[in-house]
Structure 1
Amino acid sequence: MNDKYAPHIEELAKALDGIDHDDIKIELDKLIRFRVPLEEAKRTVLNKFSSKEAPEIKIKDISNAPKSFTLKGRITSVEKRNFVLKGETVDLYSGKILDETGVCLFTAWNDFCLNEGDIIRVHHAYMKLWNNRPELNFGQRSIVEKLPEDPSIPRTEQLFTQTKKIIEINSSDLLVSSQGIVTEMYHRDVTVKGKDTTIIEGVIADETGKLPFTSWVPMDGVDIGNAISFKAAHVRIFRGIPSLNFTHETSWELLPDNKCPFSKNKIMTHEPTSIPIASVLEKNGLFDAVVTGNIISVRPGSGLIERCPVCNRVVQNNVCRAHGTVEGVKDMRIKAILDDGTGAVYIMLNRELSETIYGRSMDEAENIIKLSLSKDAVYESMKRSLIGTYLTVRGNSSKSEFGTTIVARSVWVPEDDLLSRLESLLLKLPEDV
């Protein structure tokens, strides 16, 4: 058999773990000699030697998919990306695939020569959760066969757009339609694939909540305070927080005042109020959340630190995990745990907020270290000063395997006094206590 088929034999051998290479080679050679197309021949060999063919599922069922399955669908987008794995640059291919029941993201860990519009059947695919989204994956054990055109499979993912309120948009959504008020808006110049582009960023809100948005297309006539209705916005996830992306596929229109379903003035003037920390813990991420509680712990890593001048990571002994030996840039931060009785979250305060809450500047903190001759002096001082402090924190929350963290955008001491808080707590106690 021609050596050009060796990679295909190896691919089949990986998919058919335990089957002898020679047996695979004999069967494939037999089919090739009868002029069976290569992809069809591979599928036939796979079917013959598989003790149990993986069940074929639809995209709507991918959340509950078995460990290995087969799926048929149309590629609607694909792009090549690379990342560093164990010191080596590895290529992967990602995009979207749909069938008549839905659309989902996919990641291919090998080059299967996929193109936009291709209809494929993937054998031995598997599902992984990424940013809490079910994602189709196929790699070393997978076999991908390209199929002829099938009119039953849609050509556009816009058919699966859902209409939702802002607060209902979550990490499981890919395309959504909604309405809202533009509460923030600004332009920013970026470089995409070597081309300078101006994008629009901002925040859109309705009576239920708010989310950040990015528009990659002009939004002529739209300004802060305008109400808009949009269809087929892409939902992106960053650190568990959804954001809206307006592309050429997204349509939008300005809503006149008599068609706006909510009060513009109320939304524009609304200041977010504190919510129970338990409500934050229920979400994978929240945009612009406000919580109030007591600092019950100041965590190691607080105080004076040094950051990498390239990537901003915290460095130890002038060594960055990504860039090696560097000249660290001095900074200050507070890492703490905030508890309100319903739950607890980590909070992260940058230099400016740390100086405000700690009551000392970074220069003063450096003097504390010089006088004490201990690099932990500021951290110990922060613990003495801050534990028990009653604070309100405003920022974005995100959840990881280590817990939920709020990166503070602002922080302040609430105006309500201790007496009123005690009275509120006493009212919650049973009368017989």
Structure 2
Amino acid sequence: MDKKFAPHIEELTKALGNISRSTIEAELELLLKYRVPIGEAKRSILKKFQNDSLVTKKVKDLAIGDKGVVLEVRILDIKEKDVNLRGDSATIFSGVLADETGLCSFTSWKTISLNPGDAVRIRNATVRAWHNRAEVNIGVRSEVELLEDTYLPDISELSVTPVKKLDEVGYSDMFVSSVAAVIELYHRDVNVKGKDLTIIEGVMADETSRLPFVSWSLLDGVDIGTILRFEDASVSMYRGVPSIHLNESTSVHIVGAEERLPFTFASVNVPPKPLPIGDVLQNEGMFDVSVEGNVVSVRPGSGVITRCPECNRVIMKDTCRSHGVVEGVQDMRIKLILDDGTGSLLVMLNRELSEIVYGKTLQESESIMGKAMSANVVYDDMKHILTGHYLGVRGNTSKIEYGVTFVAKSVWAPSGNLGERVSVLLERLEGVE
């Protein structure tokens, strides 16, 4: 097809997010063949495919990058704001919307006349990342319809902070209440807007999961082993992992020993049990989890590397994309693919863990490279030594554009025998054809 139509195809592909580019191109080519003007052809394609491209979702199921989304929600908060877009002033509308599954921020780039409490159907919205969260974008091609009769709960009910287990906390939670035990705790001095503060950071856990937390005020009487009941804590997201923030508006109480709970400090202060890799791949991000599997591949980029001393990025020929020519710092890492039969996962090992599993230090590896006069000799040696080995890793996961990445904090060789591993795998695969 003539390249001059490429911008029109690109525009239609963006507007019809769930319709393939090849389908749009074929449809446009057919219409142009019959001498339909390009403007009319584009309107015809939009009209034909728009309904097919739309997907109805609940708030909790929204994912960054979604297009053509249909939502039935209630407006909890809305504000009008004047902004500067490419030198031109514009008015946008932003706020918070919700359904029975959760809350989400939104921005409308078109004029909408809505008030808190209004129930609406939003069609053809997109979802973008904003402050590490999913945010609904209402564009010029989106439609907003007021709903008279709706199943949606009242605004007073939707505004109540939900009580959740830690494994239920996610993108659709801006505030949460829960009960959890403090299993890690330390103090850190920070400077916020010129003011020196001491904050508390750590990890809390219940019987379902564990999450990092931050307290912006000192917690009297709280230490490792304390069980807390907190209400109206804010939730921040980083690489798909929620973090609990206890601030001035959060109510925090120490749970007494007389109260019966489904967990104790001792029961949750244990290493996490290995999860099937297939389950890990279904999550946007997970905190402090472990997996086990066979090393099926050691990826390029493993071995001795050079980092920028300013931003820690991997650099080539002592040149950083952000800081120009720098005196690089030598480092070591291993990028390996771990597979347990339910899925495969990219695992990143830092220098310390790489030296453990490879069996050679950074200095020894540099010596090998010098003697061989080859930058790839260490990478090739890593592939020879590690491929086929069975490893366990513990750390955090995050989902990026190219899939899920596991950043390991510890690594080990599991002691279980092959028969046990086969039995576990057969149990996982039972009923799968």
TM-score (norm 1): 0.69
Q: Distance in 2 between matches of 1:295 and 1:394?
A: 15
TM-score (norm 2): 0.69
Q: Distance in 2 between matches of 1:173 and 1:278?
A: 25
Matches within 5 A, 1:103-142: 103-107=103-107, 126-130=125-129, 134-137=134-137
Structure 1: state its 5+ residue gaps.
1-56, 143-152
Q: Distance in 1 between matches of 2:407 and 2:314?
A: 16
User: What letter matches 1:296 in structure 2?
Assistant: V
Residue 359 (structure 1) shift: 0.4
Residue 280 (structure 1) shift: 0.8
Q: Distance in 2 between matches of 1:427 and 1:282?
A: 20
Q: CA RMSD in A?
A: 4.6
Going from structure 1 to structure 2, the CA distance change for 1:229 and 1:357 (only over 3 Å counts) comes to same
Residue 69 (structure 1) shift: 9.8
Q: Distance in 1 between matches of 2:314 and 2:351?
A: 13
Q: Distance in 2 between matches of 1:221 and 1:78?
A: 44
> Per the alignment, in what secondary structure is the counterpart of residue 414 of structure 2?
coil
User: What letter matches 2:206 in structure 1?
Assistant: D
User: What letter matches 2:400 in structure 1?
Assistant: S
> Per the alignment, in what secondary structure is the counterpart of residue 259 of structure 1?
coil
Q: Distance in 1 between matches of 2:369 and 2:94?
A: 51
The aligned counterpart of 1:254 is: 254
> Per the alignment, in what secondary structure is the counterpart of residue 245 of structure 2?
strand
User: What letter matches 1:289 in structure 2?
Assistant: V
The aligned counterpart of 1:339 is: 339
Going from structure 1 to structure 2, the CA distance change for 1:411 and 1:280 (only over 3 Å counts) comes to same
Q: Distance in 2 between matches of 1:289 and 1:277?
A: 10
Q: Which moved more, 1:243-252 or 1:304-313?
A: 243-252
Count of aligned residue pairs for this structure pair: 360
> Per the alignment, in what secondary structure is the counterpart of residue 262 of structure 2?
coil
The aligned counterpart of 2:381 is: 381
Going from structure 1 to structure 2, the CA distance change for 1:178 and 1:79 (only over 3 Å counts) comes to farther
Residue 422 (structure 1) shift: 3.4
Q: Distance in 1 between matches of 2:390 and 2:235?
A: 36
Residue 409 (structure 1) shift: 0.3
Residue 412 (structure 1) shift: 1.0
Going from structure 1 to structure 2, the CA distance change for 1:256 and 1:310 (only over 3 Å counts) comes to same
Q: Distance in 2 between matches of 1:425 and 1:72?
A: 50
Q: Distance in 2 between matches of 1:205 and 1:235?
A: 15
Q: Distance in 1 between matches of 2:157 and 2:194?
A: 28
1:153-198 deviation per Cα after TM superposition (whole angstroms, max 9, x unaligned): 9799852x11111111122222211101011111112222333222
Structure 2: state its 5+ residue gaps.
1-55, 143-153, 428-433
The aligned counterpart of 2:402 is: 402
The aligned counterpart of 1:425 is: 422
The aligned counterpart of 2:213 is: 213
Matches within 5 A, 1:193-342: 193-342=193-342
Matches within 5 A, 1:139-150: none
Q: Distance in 2 between matches of 1:205 and 1:307?
A: 35
Going from structure 1 to structure 2, the CA distance change for 1:168 and 1:429 (only over 3 Å counts) comes to closer
Residues 67 and 124, structure 2, Cα contact 8 Å, conserved in 1 = no
Q: Which has the larger radius of gyration?
A: 1
Going from structure 1 to structure 2, the CA distance change for 1:194 and 1:245 (only over 3 Å counts) comes to same
